[in-house]
Amino acid sequence: MFDLKGYGGLLLDGLWMTLAVGLSSMLLALLLGLLGSWAKLSRNPIAVWFADLYTTVVRGIPELILLLLVYFGIPTLIQDIAARFGHDITINLNPFMAGTLAIGFIYGAFSTEVFRGAFMSIAPGQLEAAKAMGMGRSLSFRRILLPQAMRFALPGLGNVWMVLIKATALVSIIQLDELMRKTKIAANATHEPFTFYFLASLLYLGLTIISMLVQSRAECWANRGVAER
């Protein structure tokens, strides 16, 4: 169907890089999401304020601007601050790190809301019962709260992942050699941009469809102890 002119391997390399940057961003997003939801549900007003600021700001700014700000802005900012204190330093973020930081930071805000909803949907009696059994705070979080919350969080987190993996295409703009950028190289070399961009879009579509299937399997697995309604 497609004459790849020997560029198929290049696209596959790019696909692996897309998965790598996607998975590491997702990991960061999950950590930030847990931290953010914990802050939002805490009784500490400063923590609540910071978490609200985080989700409000991130949802109001385009991903591209945040990515450019992290990749180009942060090194310059640190250098300027260092220069003010009389240090002459040069900082270069590599694209993989900048991409992971930016994408993870953005989707951390979305997972914060997912986790917050999940934690809130657990009956307070569960935690009171754990307390009555003599469980400490961290033990009751690990054994009671988290396992039940994960079941509620799974559909939302699946959506976050599917939006996130598509957002990684943006990292090509800061020259990370992922699927999108490898595709550009192949498209320019062969003068067949439509063929290659279309093929790459099918690879992304494949990732989305596989993710959808895995998600529905995972939801079945997570709900196996719950009676069907």
Partner 1 sequence: MEFSVVWDNLPKLLQGAQLTLEITLLSLMIGLVIAVPVALMRRSKNPLLWMPAYGYILYFRGTPLLIQLFLIYYGSGQFRPELSDLGLWGLFREAYFCGVLALTLNTGAYTAEIFRGAIQAVPAGDVEAAKACGMGRILIFRRIILPKAIRLAWPMYGNEVVFLMQATSLVSVITLLDLTGIAGRIISKTFAVYEIYIMTALLYLAITYAIVFLFKRIEKRLNRHLA
Q: What distance in Å separates the CA atoms of residue 38 and residue 24, rounded to the nearest whole number? A: 21
Find the shortest distance in angstroms from Cβ 109 to partner 1: 13
Stretch touching partner 1 by CB under 8 A, among 24-32, 45-53, 138-146, 188-196: 188-196
DSSP state of 61: S
Nearest approach in angstroms of CB 38 to partner 1 is: 25
Contacts of 135 (CB under 8 A, 6+ apart): 143, 144
Taking the complex as a whole, how short is the minimal distance between the CB of residue 201 and partner 1, in angstroms?
A: 4
Task: Give the distance, in angstroms, between the CA of residue 20 and the centroid of all CA atoms in the same chain.
Answer: 12
Query: If binding means CB under 8 A, how many residues of this protein chain bind partner 1?
Result: 41
Rounded CA separation 101/25 (Å): 7
- Tell me how far apart the alpha carbons of residues 156 and 115 are, in angstroms, rounded to a whole number: 8
- What's the rounded Cα separation, in Å, for the pair 215 and 159? 9
Judged by beta carbon, residue 29 or residue 167, the one nearer partner 1 is 167
Q: What are phi and psi of 192, to 5 degrees?
A: -125, 65
Return the residues of window 78-107 that contact partner 1 according to CB under 8 A: 80
Q: From the list 208, 215, 218, 219, which residue makes contact with partner 1 (rule: CB under 8 A)?
A: 208
Residue 41 or residue 68: which is nearer to partner 1 going by CB?
A: 68
- For partner 1, the binding residue among 173, 185, 218, 222 (CB under 8 A) is 173
CA 99 to chain centre: 10
Smallest distance from partner 1 to CB 171, Å: 10
Can residue 68 be called a binding residue for partner 1 (CB under 8 A)? yes
- 178 touches partner 1 by CB under 8 A: no
Q: Rule CB under 8 A: which of 48-67 touch partner 1?
A: 57, 59-66
Cα separation, 146 vs 155, in Å, equals: 15
Minimum distance, C-beta of residue 72 to partner 1, in the bound complex (Å)? 5
Q: Per-residue string for binding with partner 1, 149-168, x by CB under 8 A?
A: -----------------xxx
The DSSP call for residue 178 is S
Torsion-angle region of residue 175: left (phi > 0), alpha (psi -120 to 50) or beta? left
Q: Where are the beta strands (DSSP E) in 14-133?
A: none
Binding site for partner 1 (CB under 8 A): 57, 59-66, 68-69, 72-74, 76-77, 80, 166-170, 172-173, 180, 183-184, 187, 191-195, 197-198, 200-201, 204-205, 208-209
